Amino acid sequence: MKVDDAWVRVWLGVVHLAPAARGCQCPGPRTPYTGRMRWFMSWLKRKPAPPVSDRQRALDLVAAVDAGGLPLNPMRVNDIARNLGLEVSSRAPVEETIERIRRALERDSAAP
């Protein structure tokens, strides 16, 4: 085992798995995953969240802005607007784009 592998095993919390027949005097249970490694394995096995629709993303954006939030990434706002079918300039102010998104959502909800 290289030094780097040993450090990774210590950081992940992997318990030494030598069999007792060899005379190993290691304390603790003989389980492969403890501590950080158990968290890491559960993180790998998690199920991804279902994809969110473009309309729902726009509604979440407008709700966040109404609650006093400020969009930090104008590219994300432009992406939401483009997915709604709006043509957006990369130089357009974010506030203007959000207003256009509001009008598009109102137009869509008013349509039969």
Residues 82 and 104 sit within 8 Å (Cβ to Cβ): no
Between the alpha carbon of residue 86 and those of residues 8, 37, 65, 74, 80, the distances in Å are: 49, 46, 19, 15, 9
DSSP code at position 72 = S
Domain ranges of the chain: 3-44, 54-110
pLDDT at residue 109 in the model: 83
Average pLDDT over residues 104-112: 84
27, pLDDT greater than 60: no
